[in-house]
Structure 1
Amino acid sequence: MIFATLPTGPLEVNCYIIGCEKTMKAAVIDPGGNADRILQRLSALKLQTVMIINTHGHFDHIGGNGDLLKATGAELIIHRDDSILLERAGEHAAAFGLRAEPSPAPTRLLNGDETLQLGELTLQVIHTPGHSPGGVCLYVDDYLFVGDTLFAGSIGRTDLPGGHHQLLIAGIKEKLLPLPENTKVYPGHGPMTTIGEEKLHNPFLS
């Protein structure tokens, strides 16, 4: 698997690029902004973007959707329970004293717990509501992209509209922690971690 990461947007969201080595088809996960930089990295890697996937609909994770869609013609994919957030990006950003443009409408809606095929890579979609109603994680090989569900030593905040603390904790414990302990966890902000590390040391999961 081809893999790259770069911080994007005003809140420095971790944007992840994953690509199939055989077909050179790529997915961009959580383009928070700076679409020009994302496109430059894709070009350098010689990848064809066929999917843009938002782990959830908060403004800081979707800022690059529009420009990437125009440049690539890729599918825009999000869970159906967060799709309405794409058009409300400005309201959400204003709560943080920032500005954001609405995202284009998604072209594919997820139900949760299905799979996405990216060339020879299979991405398992794991619905983990709690930070937002339609939050999802993406599991491929031993990589787990968790958006704002889980962080190194912490969890996503649940005090925003649609948040639910008990749902978030239950989803992490029931759906993520059973994965192999060497699974590499890539969050929406901050450093990567592993499932084993969070099992042992995350104070919110003890």
Structure 2
Amino acid sequence: MCKPMQIDSLALGIFQSNTYFLTQDGETLIIDPGDRGQKILDFIREKELNPIGIVCTHAHLDHIISAPLIMKEYAIPCFLHEKEREVLKHLKTMCEQFHMPYHGEPKPVTWLDGRKPLKAGHFNLSYRHTPGHTPGGIILVTDTGVFTGDTIFYRSVGRTDFPGGDHEALMTSIRDQIFTLPGETILYPGHGPATSVNHEKQHNPFTAGL
């Protein structure tokens, strides 16, 4: 029988993005490795984690910038939705814009198409396509909770004024892919504290009427 999943997190960089470490049975999946790659590597060593894959909920720099460093160190795959290809092309430009280090693009990327679950090590996880913040945003669904990237936050939602953003699509994603989850489901967003489906249904001013 699998042990319960353990979730650790670091809030890093100027954007205070949440990098999550999902560990079970001696293997760790890293979710959204943001800025301060050396701090992520130091945390992995300090906790004696065994990384077996990286999942990026989307390709904005604050969720993917350190992926190449970790991939090089541990020779592990990076998973990203195929509709993020265009967003990923602008990673270097985004880094220059915010005066952040550019470590290259994560290569190779395992592109997700929505037809098969995400498999890395013993992990076999489902995910849901949630366009709106970016065209290929996803939420990662686990028994412990759902990692929502920048689709929804505690009493807020992701921005849609970046290239590829679509407010109507974001609202549809939240309504159809997040608010259809059980109310007690814990949501782990890309920024800020954890929340729940019920809490956001009741208190999020941006989703009123969904």
Instruction: State the TM-score, normalized to the length of structure 1.
Output: 0.91
Establish whether residue 54 from structure 1 lines up as the match of residue 50 from structure 2.
no
Q: How does 1:15-30 map to 2 (within 5 A)?
A: 15-20=19-24, 22=25, 24-30=26-32
CA distance in structure 2 between the aligned counterparts of 1:56 and 1:132, rounded to whole angstroms:
7
Equivalent pair of 2:52/2:121 in contact (CA under 8 Å): no
Q: Are the aligned partners of 1:56 and 1:134 in contact in 2 as well (CA < 8 Å)?
A: yes
Q: Partner residue of 1:169?
A: 171
- Letter of the 1:9 partner, please give it: G
**Cα distance, 1:121 vs. partner?**
4.1
Do the aligned residues in 2 keep the contact of 1:62 with 1:86 (CA within 8 Å)? no
Name the structure 2 match of 1:117.
119
Matched, 1:98 2:99: yes
How big is each residue's C-alpha offset from its partner over 1:67-123, in whole Å with a ceiling of 9 and x where there is no partner? Answer: 10111111011111113333421322445x433414233430011364223555432
Deviation at 1:41, TM superposition (A): 2.2
2-structure distance, mates of 1:65, 1:131 = 20
Partners of 1:175 and 1:77 lie apart in 2 by: 20
Q: Report matched runs for 1:1-206 at 5 Å.
A: 1-20=5-24, 22=25, 24-95=26-97, 97-101=98-102, 102-112=104-114, 114-206=116-208
Query: What one-letter code is carried by the residue in structure 2 that aligns with 1:3?
Result: I
Identical counterparts, % of pairs: 35
Per the alignment, in what secondary structure is the counterpart of residue 98 of structure 1? Answer: coil
Q: Do 1:131 and 1:163's aligned partners in 2 also have CA atoms closer than 8 Å?
A: yes
CA distance in 2, matches of 1:192, 1:78: 22
Shift of the 63–163 alpha-carbon distance from structure 1 to 2, 3 Å rule, reads same
Decide whether aligned partners of structure 1 residues 9 and 106 sit closer, same or farther in structure 2, where only a CA change above 3 A counts: farther
List alignment gaps of at least 5 residues for structure 1.
Answer: none
Amino acid at match of 2:19: C
Q: What amino acid is the match of 2:79?
A: I
Partner Cα distance (2:84, 2:109) in 1: 13
For the residues of structure 2 that align with 1:118 and 1:76, how far apart are their CA atoms? 10
CA RMSD of aligned residues (A): 1.7
Q: Which moved more, 1:36-45 or 1:170-179?
A: 36-45
Aligned residues: 203
Contact 1:93 1:100 in 2 (8 A): yes
